[in-house]
Chains A and B, each alone.
Chain A
Amino acid sequence: MIKFTLLFLFYLGPNIIWDLDIKAQSVKAHYKATAKHVSNSNKKTNHIMGDISRHANNALSKIDFIVMSDNLSYKLYYELDMSNDFNGEEWTDVATMIAIDGDRVIGDFSEGLSYYDSSLTKKIRSVEMSNITWKITTESKFILGYSCYKAIASINDPSEENTLTPPETAWFSPELSMRGGPTAYATLPGIILELESQKVKFTAVSIQHKIDCSVTLPDYDSKSILPHKEWNAYFSANNPISRLKN
């Protein structure tokens, strides 16, 4: 009996506890985002695009983007940094829409779908994660002390996503072996610590390992979920500004 107790304490016990910790773990990553200037050959359009990205960046400096993943699903959302002054706050809604195309992105690995929701409409936009194919390169660098590899994205069907939204490059860390990142397409084998699209760049600023913290999927009404093209058609038909134009 004494031999068994010693065996448990020195060998099995720590292994079981270690194993439980790893399986129950989730990761929470904080990011800062910057809006990129999307240049346009039309002088007037280019000027306004510059103004929008300038206003957005002013607001983005006070916004934290957060990714929580338990490897079954992940959520991407934002929090306002209230510690500073409120200058630029009025462009927050535009800035967050530029950065994450809504107020929140939910990625469900079991369904292979990601969902965008925003206060703009009660309808949820869904996209298929498989619409982005990642090519992992051997290029590497350290971010926040984690070894990261560069991956290059290609979109399979551009008509199934907004023009500027698809990720172009990502740096992910296999050391953080969960999937998740500041995109609807975080299918890489490790948390994405840096991500760039045509309109925005995310850089991780901190990582937290959280134990026993699962990501709960929202209980969406299935009738409110529309695939990208249907969502766009619905939004266009019901947007009072679209009607003003016509």
Chain B
Amino acid sequence: MKKLMLPLAVLFMTMSSFTALERDPIDCDALALDWYEQSLEGGYSQAVATRTYGRVLGQCYLDGGSSSFEATTNIE
């Protein structure tokens, strides 16, 4: 029984790591937009919500998430 446990554990860990690798990266655009909308809903100003959007998007992207948003959040 003990002999069987070790290969099974190795197999389980390998499969877990493959699953993790294959998982889609977090959609940073959707996440940041969600925080933007929730902060407006909570009463913060557009300016606070906009900076929150930029902060969440940037952090998410650095953490390995994906984003297609290229526009700047600075408004001339």
Which A residues fall within an 8 A CB radius of B?
A: 38, 40, 42, 44-46, 48-49, 52, 55, 90-91, 93-94, 97-98, 101-102, 118-123, 162-165, 198-199, 232, 235-236, 238-242, 244-245
Contact = CB atoms under 8 A, between A and B. Distances in A.
Given A91-B55, A97-B51, A239 B44 contact: no
Nearest to A123: B75
* Interface of B (DSSP majority class): helix
A242 B29 CA distance: 13
Interface of B: 29, 33-39, 41-55, 58-59, 69, 71-76
Contacts of B49: 241
Nearest to B74: A120
B44 to A, nearest CB: 7
Contacts of B76: 121-122, 238
B50 A38 contact: no
B43 to A, nearest CB: 5
A48 B39 contact: yes
9 contacts: A38-B43, A45-B38, A48-B34, A91-B55, A94-B48, A97-B51, A121-B76, A236-B46, A238-B76
B33 A120 contact: no
Given A90-B59, A120-B74, A240-B73, A97 B47 contact: yes
Given A49-B39, A90-B59, A120 B44 contact: no
A120 B73 CA distance: 7
Contacts of B45: 97, 101, 162-165
Given A52-B52, A94-B48, A38 B59 contact: no
A235 B43 contact: no
Contact of B75 (A48, A235, A244): A235
Sort A-B residue pairs by CB-CB distance and give the 9 closest, nearest first: A240-B71, A48-B38, A49-B42, A162-B45, A121-B75, A238-B75, A94-B51, A45-B41, A45-B38
Contact of A102 (B35, B39, B47, B71): B47
B46 A235 contact: yes
A230 to B, nearest CB: 13
Contact of B47 (A42, A48, A120, A163): A120
Choose among B44, B71, B72 the residue with the greatest number of A CB atoms under 10 Å from its CB. B44
A48 B49 CA distance: 12
A199 B33 CA distance: 22
B19 to A, nearest CB: 27
Contacts of B75: 120-123, 235, 238-240
A38 B42 contact: yes
A164 B44 contact: yes
A240 B38 CA distance: 17
A44 B46 contact: no
